[in-house]
Amino acid sequence: MEAQIPSINKKKNLTARGKILAGLALALVALIIIMLIIIPLLLNLGLTTIFSDGFEAGFSKWDSVEGDPYTTTYTAHHGTHAMQTTTDQLERVHKTFTGRPSVNVRAYIEFANMPRADGNVISILELDSGIGNQPNVIAGVKNDSGVLKWGFTHIVGGAPKFASWPHPDIASWYCIELRVALTADGYYRELLLDGRQILNDTYTSANCHNLDEVFVGGWDKTPGDSITTWTDCVVVAETVIGPEHSSWSNGFESGEMSAWDGIQGSPIVVSDMAYQSNRSLWCSTTEDQYVTKLYNSTMSADAMVYVRFDSFPPTDGGILSILDLHGSSDAPPSVAVGVKNDSGTIKWGFTYQDGRGKSFADTPNPVLRTWYSLELNVTVLDSHHYYAEIFVDGSSVLNETASYSLGDLHPLNGLLVGGFNKQSSAVGDWIDCVVVANYHVGSKKRG
């Protein structure tokens, strides 16, 4: 009798195996059906990007090349190659795609030199319709009575137009984007820097057709005005593309400060204290002690550090600044973040702001000999307004929109880190894991 039990079990096992196989088959069919649904959806999502190229494989992705542009490893925004043009002639690459009513083209561009004389221009991006050449919008830079301006350098049947702010400069990568979209009676054109609009208008024009051509490079109408440019990271899409994420970081692990562009006072790299790995920067601020770094120009920057206090400002009203983000050559906006002794309570806050007084958060309150992640975001909103926000350990503790009236604001490209703007007797702090980026960094765990 007992011998039958295994055979019954065997039958049961076979039945169970059959059920499992049937289940697997059903799961497989379901998976295939799901994939058949999802893959076209994913392809549809991908349709917003029409074309992209970073010049890592010559000009193989482009339909045609005019003049003598070439790919170089001299500089690159991403990867190892960029396109170089040296233009007193037409030097550009061209691509045709399926026509659409609205198209954006974004590229990173760096100028070695600029239009030299009043009225001279250089063109860098073009979107147009191959049918009848309407619309035809070209973006670039003009020398306007000695002031360099981004704008629409040329338009068939219409006037060029330039943004009064902000101004391009040499030796910095710019994320410049041109958008053209058909309207009921013409088209809309827009110029964006780092994904932020700097110039736009609408243009009335009959006989407009879908946009189906893009040109990228350096060309202008001024003979003898030889201008070298580097272009990289071209994307053509149906929506706003914006900037690529980019960042720079330093944790003082080399033992010195050669990765930094400047040193003020005498901060030192120490090996007996670190948030991450073995070393950090010690700033014993009987004087201003800090390190400085220049990064690529951006309309929005985040700086994040880990900071640990050895001592706080001992007297009421005393301040210690730790981080500052600012424009080129200390241009506005300049925003500093640190701590203040407010009637015996230590508070995080803005220790300095162009166009705005100091302000501090009631909570949270820092304590001594604890590592904090401290992040500052500054975003230039327009020529006279910027936004600033402070994050401690990943949480927002204070934010303000500030108005600046003493001239124009600049895109950001400077960082200052350490112990400075001290308004009381000696205090000290350690700094580690510095990151400056064009996106929100957020606190990271000790690694």
Q: Which residues bind Ca ion (CB under 5 A)?
A: 54-55, 76, 78-79, 81, 232, 251, 274, 276-277, 279, 432
CA distance 138 to 125: 6
Least separation in angstroms between residue 308's CB and Ca ion is: 12
CA distance 425 to 401: 31
Nearer to Ca ion, 253 or 382 (CB): 253
Least separation in angstroms between residue 235's CB and Ca ion is: 12
Least separation in angstroms between residue 305's CB and Ca ion is: 11
CA distance 243 to 339: 32
Q: Are 220 and 87 in contact (CB under 8 A)?
A: yes
Nearer to Ca ion, 179 or 279 (CB): 279
CA distance 214 to 95: 5
Least separation in angstroms between residue 367's CB and Ca ion is: 21
Nearer to Ca ion, 275 or 312 (CB): 275
CA distance 153 to 173: 20
Nearer to Ca ion, 72 or 222 (CB): 72
Least separation in angstroms between residue 271's CB and Ca ion is: 9
CA distance 394 to 287: 30
CA distance 346 to 364: 9
Nearer to Ca ion, 277 or 359 (CB): 277
Least separation in angstroms between residue 108's CB and Ca ion is: 9
CA distance 191 to 411: 16
Q: Are 219 and 122 in contact (CB under 8 A)?
A: yes
CA atoms within 13 A on the CB side of 428: 9
CA distance 352 to 430: 20
Q: Closest by alpha carbon to 407, among 332, 339, 341?
A: 332
Nearer to Ca ion, 55 or 404 (CB): 55
Nearer to Ca ion, 251 or 313 (CB): 251
Least separation in angstroms between residue 246's CB and Ca ion is: 13
Q: Are 415 and 335 in contact (CB under 8 A)?
A: no
CA distance 210 to 304: 44
